[in-house]
């Protein structure tokens, strides 16, 4: 079974529960293999192109690590020094890179739909590593993998996605997949950072996090995406923190087993305080560790010889 009837991983929106379960359970078995020091080598002889048109630390390095752990090799191109800077179109850049014979392309771009465009023009698998505000499927999967690892299942669990929902591809991938897996999803943030029709996705919009925090099993805290905002979505950083920042004080009524996630990078002291980010309920570095495993699962399912 392939993870998708298509050749690529572009988003989780079209994924049903079976497909999500299939990838997540494949990731669990790879994690076990890795813990037992048994290395799958399914990417031996394959080369993956990492095309990051936007900054990245965790996603880029974890894709590279996943490729190497599976025995493959990777090539990364720096956009700053590529011929896109000389005015070459994305179409020509991608076609020329493809002519060098890569087996798959991992792509991040500030515009929604770029991975879909590349998928359309090339025959090789394309993995979306974040497109604009749209989706970040490997992040959604690793977030849920981490939640399941902590609590067994996300079914009927309450998950609050907190912060800059409007600009967050992480939020969208989480929401699509969590709902399929039977979680109850809440979103909270300044009204200007909550998309007007978000309730249509099946989530509950919360205006005061203090009213719901005691019911939550998971809180996925999002970064304020300064680079995607013209100033003016909220009055001041201090007011944002007062209303929506995850502070130690806010957690006083939380369940003891509450898990706090953040995809990184963290703005400490703004959307989350250091005492919380480094505190006993956080699973932020577990997410990073699991990011490699989940990306191994994705690559293995898309690229391993059938």
Nearest approach in angstroms of CB 277 to ligand NCD is: 14
Q: Is 136 marked active-site?
A: yes
Q: Is 167 marked active-site?
A: no
Neighbours of 44 (CB within 10 A): 12
Q: Considering beta carbons, is residue 46 or 166 the nearer one to ligand NCD?
A: 166
Tell me the helix, strand and coil percentages in the chain, rounded to 5.
Answer: 45, 15, 40
Catalytic residue of the set 46, 109, 136, 241: 136
Nearest approach in angstroms of CB 212 to ligand NCD is: 23
Q: Considering beta carbons, is residue 71 or 264 the nearer one to ligand NCD?
A: 264
Residues that bind ligand NCD (CB under 6 A): 58-59, 130, 136, 139, 169-170, 223, 225, 263-264
**How far is 20 from 26, CA to CA, in rounded Å?**
10
Nearest approach in angstroms of CB 170 to ligand NCD is: 5
Catalytic residue of the set 60, 108, 167, 169: 108
Residue 161, SS3 per DSSP:
strand
Q: Is 39 marked active-site?
A: no
Q: Are 278 and 254 in contact (CB under 8 A)?
A: no
Report the alpha-carbon angle 221-268-264, nearest 5: 50
Nearest approach in angstroms of CB 227 to ligand NCD is: 8
CA 301 from centre of chain: 18
Q: Is 289 marked active-site?
A: no
**How far is 272 from 261, CA to CA, in rounded Å?**
10
Nearest approach in angstroms of CB 260 to ligand NCD is: 15
Q: Considering beta carbons, is residue 173 or 281 the nearer one to ligand NCD?
A: 173
Catalytic residue of the set 26, 31, 46, 59: 59
Nearest approach in angstroms of CB 109 to ligand NCD is: 11
Q: Considering beta carbons, is residue 46 or 259 the nearer one to ligand NCD?
A: 259
Q: Considering beta carbons, is residue 245 or 263 the nearer one to ligand NCD?
A: 263
Residue nearest to ligand NCD (CB): 223
Positive/negative CA dihedral, 81, 61, 14, 40: positive
Which tokens belong to 284?
Answer: 């932020």
Q: Is 120 marked active-site?
A: no
Among 190, 144, 143, smallest CA distance to 167 is for 190
Judged on CB neighbours under 10 Å (0-12, 13-18, 19+), 111 is middle
CA 99 from centre of chain: 29
Complete DSSP assignment for 163-188: S--TT-HHHHHHHHHHHHTT-EEEEE
Q: How far is it between the farthest Cα atoms of the chain?
A: 57
Supply the residues annotated as catalytic. Answer: 58-59, 86, 108, 136
């Amino acid at each position: 079974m392939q993870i998708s009837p298509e050749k690529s991983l572009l988003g989780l929106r079209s994924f049903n529960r079976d497909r999500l379960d299939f990838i997540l359970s494949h990731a669990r078995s790879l994690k076990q293999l890795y813990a037992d020091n048994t290395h799958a080598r399914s990417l031996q002889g394959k080369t993956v192109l990492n095309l990051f048109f936007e900054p990245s630390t965790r996603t880029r390095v974890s894709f590279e690590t996943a490729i190497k752990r599976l025995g493959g090799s990777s090539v990364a191109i720096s956009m700053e020094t590529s011929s896109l800077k000389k005015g070459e179109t994305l179409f020509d850049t991608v076609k020329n890179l493809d002519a060098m014979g890569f087996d798959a392309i991992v792509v991040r771009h500030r515009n929604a739909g770029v991975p879909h465009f590349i998928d359309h023009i090339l025959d090789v698998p394309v993995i979306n590593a974040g497109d604009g505000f749209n989706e970040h499927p490997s992040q959604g999967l690793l977030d849920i993998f981490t939640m399941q690892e902590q609590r067994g299942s996300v079914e009927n669990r309450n998950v609050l996605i907190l912060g800059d929902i409007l600009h967050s591809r992480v939020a969208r991938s989480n929401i699509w997949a969590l709902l399929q897996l039977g979680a109850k999803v809440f979103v909270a943030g300044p009204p200007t950072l909550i998309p007007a029709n978000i309730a249509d996705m099946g989530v509950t919009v919360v205006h005061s996090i203090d009213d719901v925090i005691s019911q939550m099993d998971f809180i996925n805290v999002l970064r304020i995406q300064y680079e995607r905002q013209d100033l003016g979505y909220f009055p001041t950083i201090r007011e944002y923190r007062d209303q929506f920042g995850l502070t130690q004080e806010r957690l006083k009524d939380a369940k003891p087993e509450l898990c706090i996630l953040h995809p990184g990078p963290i703005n400490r002291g703004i959307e989350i305080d250091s005492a919380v980010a480094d505190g006993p309920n956080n699973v932020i570095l577990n997410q990073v560790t699991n990011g490699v495993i989940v990306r191994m699962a994705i690559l293995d399912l898309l690229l391993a010889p059938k």
